[in-house]
Amino acid sequence: MRFISWNVNGLRAVVKKGFEDIFWGLDADFFCLQETKLQAGQIDLLLSGYESYWSYAEKKGYSGTAIFTRHTPQSVTHGLGIPYHDQEGRVVTLEYPEFRLVCVYTPNAQNELRRLDYRMEWEDAFREYLQGLDADKPVIVCGDMNVAHEEIDIARPAANVGNPGFSYEERGKMTELLAAGFTDTYRCLHPDTTGAYSWWSFRANARANNVGWRIDYFLCSNRIADKIQKAYICPEITGSDHCPVGLDIEL
């Protein structure tokens, strides 16, 4: 099965930049989106052969996640089941007989780490949510997780220590999540690959110079890590400040 994840940073804008051609070209069983930035009824995007499931933020033009799938799920869950955390449309979960798929857009800690305290609460709640799912059946987690985990995952680590997305606190929470029973699929297959990034600032020709961050992930339950076939990043695909990331796995 092929899984794709992409933070589109506004789906309506990306649709005008060739989204449908990109979608069909990647030929995924599951195509997960973050930062859709829309409400129900604000887009007419019907992709033949796919069902779609959306989580919307209460705030208009903000956050939001979605999954397009060729496979009808047994159940669909929106959010973590915690009202305090479920106002921003950050999580949608599909259940299948052999696994669950979770699409997530992790909160940004924001400039000067203004939202770091909330981010830490979110991380603990999200990890607990995933562990609960994993106790029942294997989990695949994808999305913009807003952290470059290790120095290899960022072009300029020394200059960004303590900045949002590369603070010790955020990196530590990713370490905790992986230690709770999950595998970073890209690093599983490419432990030493440098220059592999999924997000670039719009400033200073960062993308052209590949001054980027790897903050978009596919994680999976450790017990299905041996089924990973490919894990990859698609930097050639533009339209957003993020590029798609992918996972091919035998399930």
User: Would you please indicate which residues are annotated as catalytic (active-site) residues?
Assistant: 105, 144
Contact call for residues 71 and 96 (beta carbons, < 8 A): yes
Secondary element (H or E) of residue 49: none
| CA 181 and chain centroid, separation | 18
Give me the residues paired with residue 33 across strands. 6, 66
Whole-angstrom Cα distance, residue 104 to residue 65?
A: 7
DSSP output for 185-197: HHHHH-TT--S--
Contact call for residues 247 and 2 (beta carbons, < 8 A): yes
Tokens of 13: 């804008």
Tokens of 219: 């994680």
Which distant-in-sequence residues (6+ apart) come within 8 Å of 203 by Cβ? none
